[in-house]
Amino acid sequence: MLKTSVSSASFAAILFLLFNSTLYAQGRELTPDRVNQKVQQAAVEILVNGRLAGSGTIIERQGVVLTAAHVANGKDLKIEVLLANQSRLPATLHGKDASHDILLLKIPKTSGGYPALQLSRRTPLVGSNAYLVGSPIFRHRLFFKGTVSQSEVSAEFLKPHYVNVFYIQSSSPHGTSGGAWVNGQGQVIGVQSAMLFVNNAPYGIAYVAPLDAIRSLRDNPRTIASASAGFAVEELWEQPPDYLAQVTEGTAGVVVKFIVPGSPLERAKVPVGAILTSIDGNPIVTRDAYVTAIRKHEPGDEVTLKLRVPNNVTEQEIKFKLGTLQ
């Protein structure tokens, strides 16, 4: 039998090659300055009726621009894209997903195409670096750095509806909405949607539209219609002590905190503060569970809700057809 041996130096060399091949496969991170240079080429600003309304990024050389849906939300709007060289180009709607706060715009084609950023192939890892170029409060094309705090998608209420987002720890003030968050290679991992505010003060947590939803809309541009129930909830353990003191022991559910005017709950005279215990017979105890239960339906589907006031075990059953978010 032939025997072979590997010296410690050779073994170290093999480990070095394996380690670096892994780095190569994952992509080496650029310095923040290089990320900024790369993103600045594709970063744009969004003008609505002549006013700077948000940020954006070119993601297709043929002229597809990624931004947030709420940046240009309305009818009969004049939308323009302001390039890095200050050129103002007319833009038209290319695709919209309001449930993730994503908007795609199309600008005129040009010979040679536009500088564009690629979408990342992978969901960002918790703890990884993230970068954003945006124009907060009319300050142009500033560079921000953050840390991915949670990559799993959750639901946040941005009046008058919910959006599905993940979280990045960073300051991202008004005006950065629509800017692309990128990883250390300058590849898009999300879109800036909003920030966590408490008593009108920002708390350094950015709401970011997820990569999978961006890719889906880019690959199949369209206007996506999602189901909406017309009210917002908070989890029971978020409530103040005086409210919790009224709640019957053993109660589980979410608390109705905002009702959209004209929605079925308003017509049924359900009060703010009522507890939603189930949807279609399925218990609801978190905000995410509520949004998931609604979004698994199509607009126009009928749902059955059970609600009760905090100090009463008697439940009220309401059936109604879901509205449309688009």
Domain harbouring 173, CATH code: 2.40.10.10
**Which residues are CB-contacts of 240 (< 8 A; sequence separation ≥ 6)?**
none
Residues 170 and 137 in one domain: yes
3-class secondary-structure state, position 249: coil
Residues 261 and 286 in one domain: yes
Structure tokens at 56: 């954006």
In a domain, 18, yes or no: no
Quote the domain boundaries for residue 59: 37-106
* 178/175 Cα distance (integer angstroms): 8
In a domain, 26, yes or no: no
Q: Provide the CB-side half-sphere exposure for 123 (13 A, CA).
A: 14
Residues 320 and 240 in one domain: yes
pLDDT number for residue 27: 61
pLDDT number for residue 20: 43
In a domain, 30, yes or no: no
Residues 176 and 243 in one domain: no
Residues 98 and 136 in one domain: no
In a domain, 122, yes or no: no
Residues 231 and 296 in one domain: yes
By C-alpha distance, which of 31, 208, 34 is closest to 126?
208
pLDDT number for residue 11: 46
Domain C-terminal end among 106, 121, 142: 106
Residues 238 and 319 in one domain: yes
In a domain, 287, yes or no: yes
Structure tokens at 298: 């199509």
**Which residues are CB-contacts of 210 (< 8 A; sequence separation ≥ 6)?**
100, 123, 153, 164, 165, 166, 190
pLDDT number for residue 23: 39
The burial class, CB within 10 Å (0-12 / 13-18 / 19+), for 173 is middle
Q: What pTM does this model have?
A: 0.88
Amino acid at 11: F
- In order along its 326 residues, the chain shows pLDDT tens digits of 334 444 444 544 444 444 343 333 346 899 999 999 999 999 999 999 999 999 999 999 999 999 999 999 888 899 999 999 999 999 999 999 999 999 999 999 999 999 999 999 999 999 999 999 999 988 999 999 999 999 999 999 988 899 999 999 998 788 899 999 999 999 999 999 999 877 777 788 999 999 999 999 999 999 999 999 999 999 999 999 999 999 988 899 999 999 999 999 999 999 999 999 999 999 999 999 999 999 999 999 999 999 999 988 789 999 999 999 88
Domain C-terminal end among 177, 210, 243: 210
Could you count the other beta carbons within 10 Å of the beta carbon of residue 138? Answer: 10
Domain at 243, CATH number: 2.30.42.10
Residues 257 and 298 in one domain: yes
The domain tally of the chain equals 3
Amino acid at 100: H
